[in-house]
Amino acid sequence: MDVSNNIRSIREKKGLTQVDIANRLGTERSNYARLENRDVNLTLKQIQEIAEALEVSVYEIIGMPQTDDLRGEQTEILQRLEEKLKMTEEALKDKKRNIKLYKTFIEWTRDKFVTQFTLAVLHAIKELNLREITFEDYEELGFTKFNLTEEELKQIGEYMFKYGTTDYMVTNFVASSGFITEKWFIDAYNRKSKEQIEKKVFAEVKKWVNGVFEFLEEE
């Protein structure tokens, strides 16, 4: 006989209805009915609550004999299970708290990166003389109102990733974060990355060729 059947059997022997037990548990009859119909897997905590509602021991619910020889061992097992349950619940609470803190930090970081990105774009627009940038534009932190063309956005991207510009380091850091998904910005970043790789490869090849010439000259 499984736990669900034990619960039903004990309830019926005591002349109690599902509504009676549901009321004692502070839940709806339909929720309690699911427990008896084996629609859910009962936790130790639920079994304890149902045992209290039925005014029986947990051992009767789970169908374990409660002889004098086994009582001490069963009690010890139950205590260990209760301790394990408490530890698990605390661990879950800690994990939820950590996830919440992590999400908050991610949102905060994203906002900071978006702010830096917007400031860099406004600075590029100003330096390229594409539009007149006012103090209010910096306060509003927006550039969509300028209705920039694709060609203008391409110019801005190239300027932002141009070595030596004011926002060069910040722009590269923001781009590598993945928080900014503007296509023109990502395209500019990829072009710059490709150029840097090509320059690095060329420099290594040049160094190797020079080394070969030096070796031949020595010979």
- Residue 210: count other Cβ atoms within 10 Å of its Cβ: 10
Residue with tokens 């539009």, as numbered in its chain? 131
Q: Higher model confidence: residue 179 or residue 212?
A: 179
Q: How far apart are CA 98 and CA 109, in angstroms?
A: 16
Tell me how many domains the chain contains: 2
pLDDT tier, 1 (very low <50, low <70, confident <90, very high otherwise): very low
**Has residue 84 been placed in a domain?**
no
Provide the residue range defining the domain that includes 155. 104-191
Q: Among 42, 188, 34, 101, which residue's Cα sits nearest to residue 180? A: 188
Contact yes or no for 41/69 (Cβ under 8 A): no
If asked whether residues 122 and 49 sit together in one domain, one would say no
With H, G, I as helix, E, B as strand and everything else as coil, classify residue 41: coil
Q: Higher model confidence: residue 204 or residue 178?
A: 178
If asked whether residues 115 and 182 sit together in one domain, one would say yes
**Has residue 213 been placed in a domain?**
no
> How many Cα atoms are found within 13 Å in the side-chain-facing hemisphere of 150?
2
Average pLDDT, the chain: 80
Q: How far apart are CA 100 and CA 78, in angstroms?
A: 33
If asked whether residues 57 and 108 sit together in one domain, one would say no
**Phi/psi of residue 180, each to 5°?**
-100, 125
- Residue 64: count other Cβ atoms within 10 Å of its Cβ: 14
**Has residue 76 been placed in a domain?**
no
Give the pLDDT confidence of 121-177 residue by residue, as tens digits.
999 999 999 998 888 887 887 888 889 999 999 999 999 988 888 888 888 888 888
**Has residue 32 been placed in a domain?**
yes
- pTM given for the model: 0.50
Give the pLDDT confidence of 196-205 residue by residue, as tens digits.
665 665 566 5
Q: How far apart are CA 47 and CA 58, in angstroms?
A: 7
Q: How far apart are CA 135 and CA 96, in angstroms?
A: 42
Give the pLDDT confidence of 3-12 residue by residue, as tens digits.
888 888 888 8
Contact yes or no for 151/177 (Cβ under 8 A): no
Q: Among 135, 140, 186, 131, which residue's Cα sits nearest to residue 160? A: 186
**Has residue 92 been placed in a domain?**
no
| pLDDT in the model for residue 216 | 59
**Has residue 80 been placed in a domain?**
no
If asked whether residues 113 and 172 sit together in one domain, one would say yes
**Has residue 68 been placed in a domain?**
no
Q: In this predicted structure, which of 24-33, 43-52, 59-68, 127-136 has the lowest mean pLDDT?
A: 59-68
- Residue 7: count other Cβ atoms within 10 Å of its Cβ: 25
If asked whether residues 109 and 173 sit together in one domain, one would say yes
- Residue 176: count other Cβ atoms within 10 Å of its Cβ: 11
Two tokens at 81?
A: 């299970």
If asked whether residues 108 and 39 sit together in one domain, one would say no
**In this structure, what CATH number is given to the domain that contains residue 44?**
1.10.260.40
**Has residue 31 been placed in a domain?**
yes
Give the pLDDT confidence of 12-42 residue by residue, as tens digits.
888 988 888 889 888 888 888 887 776 567 7
Q: How far apart are CA 150 and CA 158, in angstroms?
A: 12
With H, G, I as helix, E, B as strand and everything else as coil, classify residue 203: helix
| pLDDT in the model for residue 145 | 86
With H, G, I as helix, E, B as strand and everything else as coil, classify residue 38: coil
